[in-house]
Structure 1
Amino acid sequence: MNHSLSSCYCFFFSLALLTFCVSSCQAPLPIADADNGGLTLPEGFGALVVVDSIGRGRHLAVNDNGDIYVKLRYAKETGSNVALRDTTGDGKADIIRYFGAYKDEGSLANGMRIHEGYLYYSAARVVYRSRLEPGKLVPDSPMEVVLTDDHEHGIHWHITKPMSFDKEGNLYVPFGSPSNACQDLVNKPGGIPGSSGLDPCPELIEHGGVWKFPKDKLGMTQKDGELYATGIRSVVAMDYHPVDEQLYLVMHGRDNLHLLYPETFTPWESAVLPSEEFIRVREGGDYGWPYCYYDHLQGEKVLAPEYGGDGKITGRCEGMDDPVMGFPGHWAPNDLLFYKGDQFPDRYKGGAFVAFHGSTNRAPYPQSGYFVAFVPFENGQATGDWEVFANGFAGTNPIVNVSDAEFRPMGLAEGPDGSLYISDSNKGRIWRILYTGNKNRFAESQLAAMEEQKLQPNIRRPDPEKDNLDRGQQPKGNQVYTTYCAPCHQRDGKGASGRIPGLHQTHWVTGDKERLIGIVLQGLEGEIEVNGERYDNVMPAHGFLDDAQIASVLTFIRQNFGNQADAVLPEEVAAQRSDLR
């Protein structure tokens, strides 16, 4: 079949002695870009760029008429959402409209769904909806508040509000937890090396799980719902499987195994563990967080070090629910989509696409992820290991710093003709993936080239020695930086936009030395502004480093990354440490 032409079918009806032919035609698929928009795809697939540079896109949804709606990471003056329409049939958006002005909270704002005639979209703490009217691109009905997160989060940053609906129309929303493993974030911001987790974990009362809310109710808070499943740290990727009739999600695993437990976990173990867990959410299920995490290398849940684990002990985790599978650590699963269409070959129907936004904290190893995976399903059950479906978003390999990546895959949506849409969170590019081959001739051999993609630096398991970017001798300040600071602030000091501030030419680094020393000794929490961008995260205390180490690393950052400031002396650190005591 030539997919550049319309597909028409004639249905015959007899009435009296006359025969009528009613023709049903499907609109032709547009032509893929010659370079597939920079993506590497399985044989027979093509991609085109729908739009570029609309703003940092998060989740997206596609209406029955092909209109595209994208949740933006940062609100523009004209709105926090963008609507796109193609009026020419070439697959390119030629009408772009911004709408939906409301208080937003940067990278915490995710969630975009179309459900029963409404467009649902989320700020960090609120789920809204607007009715979509036939023929109108931008909804002009009043914004309705569906759900408000009324907790006083303070330093809580896993408060993103993706949403899913079951076949009855019930709403599912996760309430994430801020810590790695339920550390005391009030008295010990970010935790300190060797610190234990609170037991029992008080966060699990109102966080660390998925809540179920009744259909079509407005003005809700968490108390209007019920805890559906617990032991789930942080969720951005979530979808309901229509065949299995079950909720699924891919959880963000905890961080900093080596930083917090340097004598137990190596930097390599901290880079590849723990798993990002692909979970079939059972009502009443307990998936183990914060007491446990899944290790895909061993194929089992193990006890977290905050509760006495050493990476091998199972302990209390033996009775916890296991995931469908575990993906390598820190890939950042940011959307999940079960494919329902007929455009792609049959093996894709009912299977799961997962958008891996990409790691930020794998130093001293290259960053990983930055691709879209596929997991085949049959009759509602996973039937194989994950595959590489789309790669090449970053535009470079290996990815040393998160800022090196040109694009980062974020959101997934399916169009009415079965096309797959993918959003980018860096510049605001949208791709549309089409199947241009012969579905009847699609075979496993066409996936062989994609298996080779698993050998790419952004996907394969790093070699503990060869891939260590810090192998060999370094100046002391640089070595301390790459061990304790680069996992967040990156090797190039540029941080991760919206999450971790950069260190380039900012008064936080080059200004008051006492303030800078105090941040390292005590940590930092709460909202700050760095070079015009707001951040609300936790800087762990690093007072466990000795005076010489702190002086050397602060001198390093004050005299690198475009900074030119005087050195920090060990005796200055010692004096401030004494004052704090």
Structure 2
Amino acid sequence: MPSFCKRPWFATLLIGICICLVSCNQHKQPAPLPPGDPDNGGLFLPGNFEAVVVADSLGRARHLTVNTNGDIYVKLTYNDIMHGSGGTVGLRDADNDGKADIITYFGNYKDEGGLPAGIAVHNGYLYTATVKYIFRNKLKPGELLPERGTDTILIDDDENLRKHWHTAKPFAFDRHGNMYVPFGAPSDAAQDINVAGPAGIPGGKGLDPAPDLERHAGIWRFDENKNGQTQKDGYKYATGIRSVLAIDWNTMDDCLYVAMNGMDNFHTRYPQVYSAWQAAMLPSEPLLKVTEHANFGWPYAYYDHLQRKNVLQPGYGGDGKVIGRASKFNIPVMGFPGHWAPMDLLFYTGDQFPERYKQGAFVAFHGSTDRSPYPQAGYIVCFVPFSKGKPAGDWEVFADGFTGVDTVFNTSDAKYRPMGLAMGPDGSLYISESNKGRIWRVMYKGDKNTFRPAQLTAMESRKSRTYIKTPDEVKDNLGLGGVMNGLILYNSYCAGCHQRDGKGDNNRYPPLAASDWIVGNRERLIRVMLQGLQGEIKVNGKTFNGVMPAHGSFLDDHAIASIATYINKAFNKENSLVSSAEVTKLRNAPTGNAGSMVRTKPVN
């Protein structure tokens, strides 16, 4: 042996080469799947699926994406307030135990209001959206943090951006260098927001023609590589799409798909047309196959999954049955129950899951806010089987257990709210949630070639949960006021005097926010809405002498309960919901008894 081979440095070199060769050879083989958590992180999944919690309490997480090396990136909401260090978080599982070992925050930008969504690793770049911008940063192989140089791909230059409800900028890429971005409708159903606010007013008519359709309620196509684009640089690809956060390009048929958030509060605005039960179920949250020049009818029409057709919107003369101009709009490929709030859409292209999942779509539902007096619903991840570019069956419950409770009376009751979906390089499915920022990794541990329908039986039985099933019109009526209903009614009947912020006009009309006259006194609040009030009262040490008209003659008990619920929660941080039964009891009580709010002399 040559003498230099005996030197220590040479031995070290040989060992290093061996380690490198072993390491390189290992990287050619996929790493074994880590064990799932004993309780699957709280999730219920089909047979032989397991889940592990990758990270927890990251902050209010929105969408997420996974790099080709397994690094995870999560878009956060206003994370600069929570952590002081950026609105995106990068996660790395260095030892492949399923848990993130490295967690780092970056991206020092603030959102312009609203709820941001949209993040993706694409062609070696990390694309990240805020409400106003879409950025991208180059990813360096092996590095978790992207490079510092930031490209601003898109700028929303709408000067009224902060007034709009549906301002998120999720996006999807085709295979031809294009990026597709929804521009959400400023209002719920094409009301004049300067008069009615984004939520609209009871009985309100939609603007006709709807001016929002010129720059909103549609999807625009942009160059994925060009800096500094604004909306005028894009191509209007499709229209009549109210609000989208769930968007993906399906490579199987080379087409764009979105799951749309439908309109809200049909009973609150049109009680003569829709019952509370109908308003809880309708309109559908439709899955749309979006082709060039497609028009899905917002605001003139909506999809009714119970009738399986487009029908005319009530703000344009509809009664829940009339089709009218709705006949000329594109038909969705599927309709989910109303108000479930689809937040993300993912067509599965991996090889880890059984064959039946390939080509199909996962949909994350954030959960409803405005189904009262029925239980809030959604809060699950669904799967839609596809074959040859079309749904091959009804939607299925794929992941459940997020709520932590059997019945969601109010949105805040849900422990977790599913938000984002992403697929890892090994075919694992990642799920984010928005309350605390928990991330799950879902894996299949069985023989994918012997997957059987029996493995779905337990998931099918979960459709009986109150937040999934079709509610019984009588038995499932909880009789509780709704915050969203209360918002619309408050802005219609109360804000003119007490102002939208509840602080009153500092002259004739007293504040409702932090009011020592109503805080902790539900009966007084309900009575004054039912029966009215005149004469002096003292609120927070100041005397007011206005006239409060009685609203009980034209608002039903659920409406009064909803306004009271909204006032208590929005202005006074009271979490309990006011029930219709409380209102009914006081409505039927003698008006002259102690505590009556009909006054003819000053009250202190």
Query: Which category describes the TM-score, using the shorter chain as reference length?
Result: 0.7 to 0.9
Query: Which position in structure 1 is the counterpart of 2:338?
Result: 329
Query: Which position in structure 1 is the counterpart of 2:169?
Result: 161
Q: How does 1:3-42 map to 2 (within 5 A)?
A: 24-42=28-46
**Match 1:46 to one of 37, 50, 53:** 50
The answer to whether the 8 A contact 2:114-2:166 is kept is no
The 10-residue stretch of structure 1 (25-34 or 325-334) with the greater mean CA deviation from structure 2: 25-34
The code of the aligned residue for 2:30 comes to: Q
The answer to whether the 8 A contact 1:360-1:487 is kept is no
Q: How does 1:50-199 map to 2 (within 5 A)?
A: 50-76=54-80, 77-105=84-112, 108-153=115-160, 154-189=162-197, 190-199=199-208
The answer to whether the 8 A contact 1:366-1:469 is kept is yes
Task: State how far apart, in whole Å, the 1-side matches of 2:321 and 2:449 are.
Answer: 47
State the Cα deviation string for residues 294-317 of structure 1 (Å, max 9, x = none): 000000010000000000000001
Deviation at 1:443, TM superposition (A): 1.1
The answer to whether the 8 A contact 2:342-2:365 is kept is yes
The answer to whether the 8 A contact 2:373-2:481 is kept is no
| Shift in alpha-carbon separation, 1:98–1:571, aligned structure 2, 3 A | farther
Task: State how far apart, in whole Å, the 2-side matches of 1:236 and 1:223 are.
Answer: 21
Structure 1 SS opposite 2:458: helix
Identical positions, percent: 53
State the Cα deviation string for residues 59-117 of structure 1 (Å, max 9, x = none): 00000110000000122211000000011110100100000011214652110011100
Task: State how far apart, in whole Å, the 2-side matches of 1:216 and 1:103 are.
Answer: 23
Query: Which position in structure 2 is the counterpart of 1:485?
Result: 486
The structure with the greater share of residues assigned to strand is 1
| Shift in alpha-carbon separation, 1:571–1:410, aligned structure 2, 3 A | farther
| Shift in alpha-carbon separation, 1:438–1:121, aligned structure 2, 3 A | same
Query: Which position in structure 2 is the counterpart of 1:441?
Result: 450
**Match 2:574 to one of 544, 554, 561:** 561
Task: State how far apart, in whole Å, the 2-side matches of 1:551 and 1:42 are.
Answer: 43
Task: State how far apart, in whole Å, the 2-side matches of 1:158 and 1:405 are.
Answer: 23
Task: State how far apart, in whole Å, the 1-side matches of 2:561 and 2:44 are.
Answer: 43
The code of the aligned residue for 1:133 comes to: K
The code of the aligned residue for 2:274 comes to: F
Query: Which position in structure 1 is the counterpart of 2:8?
Result: none
Correspondence 1:253 to 2:262: yes
Correspondence 1:414 to 2:427: no
Correspondence 1:221 to 2:225: no
The code of the aligned residue for 2:253 comes to: D
| Shift in alpha-carbon separation, 1:115–1:197, aligned structure 2, 3 A | same
Deviation at 1:210, TM superposition (A): 0.3
State the Cα deviation string for residues 331-367 of structure 1 (Å, max 9, x = none): 0000000001000000101110000010011110111
Task: State how far apart, in whole Å, the 2-side matches of 1:332 and 1:145 are.
Answer: 29
Deviation at 1:192, TM superposition (A): 2.0
Query: Which position in structure 2 is the counterpart of 1:279?
Result: 288
Structure 1: tracts of 5 or more residues without a match: 1-21, 471-478, 490-499, 521-541, 573-581
| Shift in alpha-carbon separation, 1:309–1:121, aligned structure 2, 3 A | same
Deviation at 1:169, TM superposition (A): 1.9
Structure 1 SS opposite 2:194: coil
Query: Which position in structure 2 is the counterpart of 1:530?
Result: none
| Shift in alpha-carbon separation, 1:31–1:222, aligned structure 2, 3 A | same
Deviation at 1:181, TM superposition (A): 1.6
The answer to whether the 8 A contact 1:363-1:486 is kept is no
Query: Larger Rg: 1 or 2?
Result: 2
| Shift in alpha-carbon separation, 1:157–1:512, aligned structure 2, 3 A | farther
Task: State how far apart, in whole Å, the 2-side matches of 1:59 and 1:410 are.
Answer: 6
The code of the aligned residue for 1:365 comes to: Y
Task: State how far apart, in whole Å, the 1-side matches of 2:332 and 2:404 are.
Answer: 32
Task: State how far apart, in whole Å, the 1-side matches of 2:66 and 2:562 are.
Answer: 48
Query: Which position in structure 1 is the counterpart of 2:329?
Result: 320
Q: How does 1:482-521 map to 2 (within 5 A)?
A: 484-485=485-486, 509-511=513-515
The 10-residue stretch of structure 1 (378-387 or 28-37) with the greater mean CA deviation from structure 2: 378-387
| Shift in alpha-carbon separation, 1:482–1:198, aligned structure 2, 3 A | closer
The answer to whether the 8 A contact 1:75-1:101 is kept is no
Task: State how far apart, in whole Å, the 2-side matches of 1:480 and 1:389 are.
Answer: 31
**Match 1:200 to one of 204, 209, 218:** 209
Where do 4+ consecutive residues of structure 1 move more than 6 Å?
479-483, 486-489, 500-503, 547-556
Task: State how far apart, in whole Å, the 2-side matches of 1:240 and 1:104 are.
Answer: 26
Task: State how far apart, in whole Å, the 2-side matches of 1:440 and 1:543 are.
Answer: 69
Task: State how far apart, in whole Å, the 1-side matches of 2:201 and 2:435 are.
Answer: 32
Task: State how far apart, in whole Å, the 2-side matches of 1:368 and 1:166 are.
Answer: 32
The answer to whether the 8 A contact 1:552-1:568 is kept is no
| Shift in alpha-carbon separation, 1:501–1:233, aligned structure 2, 3 A | farther
The answer to whether the 8 A contact 1:66-1:416 is kept is yes
The 10-residue stretch of structure 1 (396-405 or 289-298) with the greater mean CA deviation from structure 2: 396-405
Q: TM-score, with normalisation over the residues of structure 2?
A: 0.78
The code of the aligned residue for 1:249 comes to: V
Deviation at 1:179, TM superposition (A): 1.7
| Shift in alpha-carbon separation, 1:277–1:336, aligned structure 2, 3 A | same
The code of the aligned residue for 2:193 comes to: L
The code of the aligned residue for 2:382 comes to: A
Query: Which position in structure 2 is the counterpart of 1:399?
Result: 408
| Shift in alpha-carbon separation, 1:41–1:544, aligned structure 2, 3 A | farther
Task: State how far apart, in whole Å, the 2-side matches of 1:552 and 1:466 are.
Answer: 19
Task: State how far apart, in whole Å, the 2-side matches of 1:440 and 1:555 are.
Answer: 56
Deviation at 1:569, TM superposition (A): 4.8
Deviation at 1:215, TM superposition (A): 3.4
Task: State how far apart, in whole Å, the 2-side matches of 1:347 and 1:392 are.
Answer: 23
Q: TM-score, with normalisation over the residues of structure 1?
A: 0.81
The structure with the greater share of residues assigned to helix is 2
The code of the aligned residue for 1:123 comes to: T
Task: State how far apart, in whole Å, the 2-side matches of 1:284 and 1:339 are.
Answer: 26
| Shift in alpha-carbon separation, 1:545–1:284, aligned structure 2, 3 A | farther
Task: State how far apart, in whole Å, the 2-side matches of 1:185 and 1:483 are.
Answer: 16
Question: What do you get for the CA RMSD once the two structures are aligned?
Answer: 3.0
Q: How many residues align?
A: 503
Correspondence 1:233 to 2:238: no
Which structure has more relative contact order (CA 8 Å, sep 6+)? It is 1
Task: State how far apart, in whole Å, the 2-side matches of 1:362 and 1:481 are.
Answer: 8
Structure 2 SS opposite 1:186: helix
The code of the aligned residue for 1:101 comes to: N
